[in-house]
Structure formats: C-alpha cells, structure tokens
C-alpha cells in the first residue's frame, strides 16, 4: 500500500505539479486527492492520446515534466503521440506516465483487462519506455530515480500501479455538483427500453456501468426482446460499432452511449450523420461523470447536445430529465426514422454494485445469431 500523499510528494520534489489524464478506477484515490486538495494543476482529458498532447504542450510551455495518468487500456490511445512526437528520436519530450495496471499477472480481473494487463510491460519495453512498479512506500525511491532520469535524458518514463495500492491518509470523497436536471434513473430507463423495443433489435452498449446495468436488468426482469453486445473495452467506440452494423442491416440498431465515452471519440457522431441510416438510434446516458471509475466529472453538463448533434448533421434531438418522461419520449424516439439523438440526463450512482459480463464469446454468438 502507498499513500497518495507520499506519492505526490515524490513528484513534487521533482517539480512535477501538472496532471492530465483519463480517470481510472485503480487511480481513483489520486483523482479525488487532486480534485479535493486542489494544490496541483489538473485537467481531465477526453482520451489518452489527447492527454499526451496536453502533456507535450505543458513541457513546451514550461520545460517541466507533466504527469499523464491513464488506465493501461488507454495506452493504445496514447501510443500515436508518444511514438510519433514525444519519442526520444523525434522531439524528445520528457514526461511521467502513471498507468493503472488492470489485469496484472496473478490478479483476478475481467477478460479484456487480463489480455491488456499481460502485455502492458512488453508494450512499454517495445516503446522504449523505462518503467517501475510501485507497490509499497520503498518503491517510491525507484520512482524518484526514474523521474530524475527522465528529466536528465529528456525521455518518457512510466510507473505501473496495481489495483488497491494507492490509498488516501484521510478519507476523501468527490464533491459532485448536484444538477436538478440530471434526475432520471439509468436502471428504470434501460428497463423501459427493453420493454419497448421490437424483438429483433440489436443493442450496442458502452463500457462500464451501462453495459453491466443493461445485463442486470435483462437477466433480473427476464426481458427477452432484442440482443445486447456489451462493449466491455474499446471505450468510446460503441457508436462506431453501431454504425458498422447499421450500414449492413435493415433492423433497428440501438447504441447506448455514455458522456465520457462519447466525448472520447466524438467524431463518430459526424460519421453517423454522413451515413444517415435511420435504423441507427443513438442514445446518450449523460450523468456528467465517469461513474464507472469513481465519478470524476466529465463536464458534459456544459455541452448543449441539441446544438452539437444538429450541427454535426443529426436531424432530431430528444431529451429526458425525469423518470416520468421516459415512456412517452422513448416511444417517439424509437418510432422516428431519421438520424436522431436521445439524451437522457441520469443521476450518477458511484459505487453501484453490478454484475460483469463473463462469457464474451457466448454473448457474441448469441448476438449475431
């Protein structure tokens, strides 16, 4: 176990005072400390590649190392700017990557994390990034040496942290802004959705709590209409998967997106409007947070999704703010044959206990049958 305070002190001693990244459950105690204590600069990024970009910009502006944090699944998004811009043989931009190591060997985790977890150290080796593993306070000495090396040699270094290692000395919790409009329940919405759809509908649901809740509602209530494809990984790509299906199939394809996920690869909304297949129904469950990994704010409450979707080429926009509006609006939305977005303002339910999809190959077979 390592206290976040001690971890941050090691970084501070090395003049690292700027943080950017995409939240991760392994690093949620760090996120909460950055937000609550507010004594370092911190900017959440929409995806890990963008976080690397922000980090590069920070170095160019200050000559100081940024700390770019992410879950190891986001390393894929980060690789392009790492290897094509920041690499020692390109612009030689130093930074510290702080990587939440899901699926580390000997841990128990979901299949997608076990696959990425196994190759994470090899990926770093391939990228020529020196790294250390921090599991106990003494390991911070290794981290200190590594950061000094990054500063001196102007190269990227990384620190791998496994689940349940980072703890706060004092119990801290994120202050979530209560916004009245965000009051619909995801569970009630998904329940209604599964009742109102036609039998042959295909649902693509986004990473994290949305997929897990959809599976729970379907199983508990024995709702048999439609088939689900849970995007357990590939965060931000549910809409693209739905687009790929809608091009080839005439039946209704429903994408159930999250605000953090949609923002991660927002450009896919534009592709959707270019394709304009009326059978693709795009639903955004907006809870203004990365609920699945600790409830860090996405800032999506500030976005006018009606204006955004229309300017990207969507024909219609619907919204739901309360449970009692769900049935009426959902019926209208599902009947509409044009490219439309339904935004459901949902409450964030941090720490909700939900089951996890397990037999993914079986889920796929059942889905494409």
Ligand X SMILES: Cc1ncc(C[n+]2csc(CCOP(=O)(O)OP(=O)(O)O)c2C)c(N)n1
Q: Whose Cβ is closer to ligand X: residue 66's or residue 74's?
A: 74
Beta bridge partners of 130: 157
Options 73, 151, 191, 252; binder of ligand X; rule CB under 6 A: 73
DSSP three-state, residue 256: strand
DSSP three-state, residue 148: helix
Question: By CB under 6 A, what part of segment 152-191 binds ligand X?
Answer: none
Q: Whose Cβ is closer to ligand X: residue 240's or residue 279's?
A: 240
- From the list 295, 318, 312, the residue with the least C-alpha distance to 172 is 295
Binding mask 284-303 for ligand X (x = CB under 6 A): ---x-xxxxx----x-----
Helix or strand (DSSP H, E) at 341: strand 340-345
CA–CA dist 51, 91 (Å, integer):
17
Query: CB 165: neighbour CB atoms within 10 A?
Result: 20
Span of 66-74, 139-147, 176-184, 241-249 interacting with ligand X by CB under 6 A: 66-74
Phi, psi of 10, rounded to the nearest 5 degrees: -60, -40
Span of 2-10, 187-195, 282-290, 317-325 interacting with ligand X by CB under 6 A: 282-290
Residue nearest to ligand X (CB): 258
Options 22, 51, 52, 243; binder of ligand X; rule CB under 6 A: 22
In whole angstroms, how close is the CB of 103 to ligand X at the nearest point?
Answer: 11
Q: Whose Cβ is closer to ligand X: residue 74's or residue 121's?
A: 74
Whole-angstrom CA distances from 347 to 113, 261, 281, 355 are 27, 16, 22, 19
In whole angstroms, how close is the CB of 339 to ligand X at the nearest point?
Answer: 21
Binding mask 213-252 for ligand X (x = CB under 6 A): ----------------------x-----------------
Q: Whose Cβ is closer to ligand X: residue 174's or residue 249's?
A: 174
- The encoded tokens of residue 229 equal 């494809």
CA–CA dist 211, 228 (Å, integer):
9
Span of 67-75, 85-93, 127-135, 147-155 interacting with ligand X by CB under 6 A: 67-75
Q: Whose Cβ is closer to ligand X: residue 149's or residue 347's?
A: 347
In whole angstroms, how close is the CB of 229 to ligand X at the nearest point?
Answer: 16
**Is 96 in contact with 68 (CB distance < 8 Å)?**
yes
Span of 259-267, 274-282, 334-342, 350-358 interacting with ligand X by CB under 6 A: 259-267
Options 240, 246, 261, 340; binder of ligand X; rule CB under 6 A: 261
In whole angstroms, how close is the CB of 293 to ligand X at the nearest point?
Answer: 4
**Is 212 in contact with 351 (CB distance < 8 Å)?**
no
**Is 95 in contact with 130 (CB distance < 8 Å)?**
no
Question: By CB under 6 A, what part of segment 187-216 binds ligand X?
Answer: 206-210
Whole-angstrom CA distances from 4 to 32, 115, 295, 297, 368 are 10, 28, 18, 20, 45
CA atoms within 13 A on the CB side of 333: 27
Query: CB 304: neighbour CB atoms within 10 A?
Result: 11
CA–CA dist 94, 147 (Å, integer):
9
Contact set with ligand X (CB under 6 A): 22-24, 71, 73-74, 77, 206-210, 235, 258-261, 287, 289-293, 298
């Amino acid at each position: 176990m390592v206290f976040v305070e001690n971890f941050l002190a090691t970084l501070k001693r090395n003049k690292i005072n700027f943080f950017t990244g995409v939240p991760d459950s392994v690093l949620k105690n760090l996120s909460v400390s950055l937000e609550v204590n507010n004594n370092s600069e911190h900017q959440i990024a929409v995806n890990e590649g963008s976080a690397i970009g922000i980090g590069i910009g920070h170095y160019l502006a200050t000559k100081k190392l940024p700390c770019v944090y992410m879950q190891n699944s986001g390393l894929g998004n980060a690789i392009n700017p790492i290897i094509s811009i920041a690499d020692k043989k390109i612009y030689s931009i130093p930074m510290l990557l702080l990587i939440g190591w899901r699926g580390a060997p000997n841990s128990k985790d979901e299949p997608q994390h076990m696959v990425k977890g196994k190759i994470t150290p090899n990926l770093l080796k391939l990228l020529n990034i020196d790294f250390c593993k921090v599991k106990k306070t003494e390991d911070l000495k290794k981290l200190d040496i590594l950061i000094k090396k990054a500063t001196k040699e102007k190269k990227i270094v990384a620190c791998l942290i496994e689940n349940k290692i980072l703890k706060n000395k004092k119990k801290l919790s994120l202050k979530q802004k209560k916004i009245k409009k965000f009051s619909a329940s995801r569970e009630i919405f998904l329940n209604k959705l599964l009742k109102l759809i036609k039998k042959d509908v295909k649902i693509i649901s986004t990473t994290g709590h949305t997929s897990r809740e959809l599976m729970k509602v379907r199983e508990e209530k024995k709702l048999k209409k439609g088939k689900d494809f849970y995007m357990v990984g590939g965060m931000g790509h549910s809409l693209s998967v739905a687009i790929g299906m809608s091009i080839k199939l005439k039946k209704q394809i429903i994408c159930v997106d999250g605000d953090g996920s949609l923002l991660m690869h927002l450009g896919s909304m534009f592709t959707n409007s270019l394709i304009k297949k009326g059978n693709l129904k795009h639903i955004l469950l907006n809870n203004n947070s990365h609920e699945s990994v600790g409830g860090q704010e996405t800032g999506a409450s500030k976005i006018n999704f009606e204006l955004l979707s229309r300017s990207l080429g969507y024909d219609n926009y619907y919204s739901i703010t309360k449970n009692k509006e769900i049935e009426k609006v959902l019926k209208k939305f599902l009947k509409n044959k044009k490219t439309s977005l339904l935004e459901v303002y949902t409450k964030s339910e941090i720490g909700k206990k939900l089951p996890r999809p397990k037999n993914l190959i079986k889920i796929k077979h059942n889905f494409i049958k």
